[in-house]
Structure 1
């Protein structure tokens, strides 16, 4: 049953972190120290991502600009448009903070590891998926703060400077990533010997951020403000959004004449949102805001997309001839 629902160890640990933060939240000076440690872990994580990413795969995949343009359109245009269109319905139902989190999720870049993994399982264009997902994350470090500035804080009374956030994100995420690329000849052989290091560090860092974020939210009264009905509405909203995007990502590449391998890469890269980059960005962009409520939508969307993409990738891997005949 766990396999069917894609409830892997990481998902279970995410739920455990939320429960732990609800029971034993970190606060005060301990929370400040924990935040410093978490920030350092995020920087190391993106250094490892930079060292792991193959330059050859990037060069091979970057030539397919039509595919990357379409994925970029899904990630930073269609998602935000749908999120903004949902405002009249979701804002009264979810409240301002949860709707901000839903909209912030729509502004995030695509995932890297899971997009590539699902594309590989489904026999898609892995090289282009590597390049497209990686480019999405790098571009998102600059595009996401601007979208937040225009459509979230731009419509509120908060004094928000996107330039400052872009600089902080660049220093925390992009600089370590570039440093990892530069030091790749020396670091990558070490990563080959310990292939689970990046994955373990990736998941561990997210768990730390989630625990810290929900601790602060619980101290501020998160569960007094978010009811079971609200969680259900948020889950339905995430499911509807994913369904619409996946249908568009399934049929638009076909209409545009992309090959089956490219259609698969577009589908998985264009329909997903990153939790790994999203939570660290939220820490920087929403200082002083209820961070637990901001990251709750992406946590729910993240699990739903893993479940659905896992089933679809497995189905396509067993029936590759169906898509090629259509």
Structure 2
């Protein structure tokens, strides 16, 4: 049991945070009063900027088709497909939640970690991560306004949302890259601790989201299993779609792995900023799909990475 907790501490932490948030929702009020979540997300993206290997990443820019296809898949195809599927199958509040997580950029750390485990193209994974998180600042307000304007009466302050995301996500990424030459050795020495800190922020976000949604969660009843099933199906579908896209554009083996895994994942940190800033009051349970998505993509992503790694070992010259 202890060995399992040590290896899977992040998944255990996600479950514990969800349970604690449900049982002790009043604790979340204290954290929100000091705006600790927004500060934590800012510091998390600052750490990401400090950790990114800029030179290795920019060498991938010459291969334009891979990052361009990844951006189109993650920031356009994913949200359009996800919301179109969610509207007839899920309650309105859950469909809005699907739209929020679907428009988010790819994960910052876990996607790259899983790519490395699967023996994939890590520089390409990092490039997808950087470009997706930068471009999403501009696409999220536009796409949410478009999607929810069609199916729901949700008015979004697009420009204010754009400015808020730029300050909390884009600014720390840029600052981290500017400071990287000065702090490279320190970051390398504390790399594991930085990864633990970023994962801890996600755990805190889940705690806050559940503590803010306890009333709505209790009223969901039979709808909750439906959200789980839908999110699992959505993630599996995007893994298959992205794998097909990667093959269609003629990527090599390691790049197919990076494209398949990282382009199919979404970040909870940015989704939280959008939900907390513009949806939490009217749609308190709309963050549930993001929580389920995080659990789903970590568990399935780990299995997919392990599959690629083992297949690569068995058939190193033929795997496509």
Same fold, judged at TM 0.5 (above): yes
- Once residues 114 and 32 of structure 2 are traced to their aligned partners in structure 1, the CA distance between those partners, rounded to angstroms, is 37
User: Which residue, 289, 292, 303 being the options, matches 2:295?
Assistant: 303
Please state how far the C-alpha of 1:132 moved relative to its aligned partner: 1.1
Separation in 2, partners of 1:198, 1:191: 8
Residue of structure 1 in register with 2:177 after alignment: 181
Q: Determine the C-alpha separation between the residues in 2 that align with 1:236 and 1:210.
A: 19
Between stretches 176-185 and 252-261, larger displacement belongs to 252-261
Cα distance change, pair 88–112 in 1 and its aligned pair in 2 (3 A): closer
Where does 1:221-232 land on structure 2 (aligned, <5 Å)? 221-227=215-221, 229-232=222-225
Residue correspondence of structure 1 range 210-221 to structure 2 within 5 A: 210-218=206-214, 221=215
CA offset digits 1:35-72 (Å, max 9, x no partner):
x1222222122111111111112211222210011111
Cα distance in 2 for partners of 1:261, 1:28 equals 42
Is 2:163 aligned against 1:167?
yes
Cα deviation for residue 288 of structure 1 reads 2.3
Aligned positions of 1:202-281 closer than 5 A: 202-218=198-214, 221-227=215-221, 229-281=222-274
Query: What SS is found at the alignment partner of 1:276?
Result: helix
Query: Contact 1:111–1:269 (CA<8 Å) still a contact in 2?
Result: yes
Q: Is the alpha carbon distance of 1:12 and 1:153 closer, same or farther for their aligned partners in structure 2, counting shifts above 3 Å?
A: farther
Relative distance call for 1:303 and 1:159 in structure 2 (3 A) is closer
Do residues 151 (structure 1) and 147 (structure 2) align?
yes
Aligned positions of 1:97-112 closer than 5 A: 97-112=93-108
Q: Which runs of 5+ in 1 are unaligned?
A: none
What CA distance in whole angstroms lies between the structure 1 residues aligned with 2:295 and 2:309? 21
Residue pair 1:111, 1:133 contacting (<8 A) in 2 also: yes
Query: What residue in structure 2 maps to residue 66 of structure 1?
Result: 65
Residues 114-138 of structure 1 show CA distances to partners (whole Å, capped at 9, x for unaligned) of 2212222222221111111221112
1:3-82 alignment runs, 5 A limit: 8-26=8-26, 30=30, 32-34=32-34, 36-82=35-81
Q: TM-score with structure 2 length normalisation?
A: 0.90
**How far 1:165 moved relative to its partner?**
0.5
Return closer, same or farther for 1:306/1:89 CA change in 2, 3 Å cut-off: same
Per-residue Cα deviation, 1:165-221 (whole angstroms, up to 9, x for no partner): 010111112112211111112233222222223212212222222222222222xx1
Whether the 8 Å contact between 2:114 and 2:302 is mirrored in structure 1 is yes
Please state whether the residue corresponding to 1:131 is helix, strand or coil.
Answer: helix
Distance, in Å, in 1 between the alignment partners of 2:173 and 2:226 is: 37
Partners of 2:186 and 2:309 lie apart in 1 by: 32
Instruction: State the aligned residue count.
Output: 318
